[in-house]
Structure 1
């Protein structure tokens, strides 16, 4: 189980969860962004490692836009 948890804390692990379920568990703090990032979603892969993506809620279309720290992205 530990190995699966470690794999899910990588960008590909998080993307895999999104592909399988269309959403992320709350442990990743998924939320919609606003302002110039309106329409995009963000989650925390780790405490200061973020993934930003666009998601169409009517069908599973994921467009990964960026990954990095808060300082890198904002």
Structure 2
């Protein structure tokens, strides 16, 4: 039986959500460049930040990020 790619896509889509932010183009380009220089991707970096924030090892206070 052939794979139903549309059904697989819909199943994955139900389990994930895209979060976005609007930032100036220059900042976005600098961020991408720095991520790639550090051998990671912007997506991987942001996922790590979100995970750290959710487990309380990263705190956002007074407009700054602090590591506990």
Structure number having the greater strand percentage: 1
Higher RCO, Cα 8 Å, sep 6+: 1
Answer with 1 or 2: which has the greater Rg. Answer: 2
> Under TM normalisation by the shorter chain, which class is it?
under 0.3
TM-score of the superposition, structure 1-length normalised? 0.22
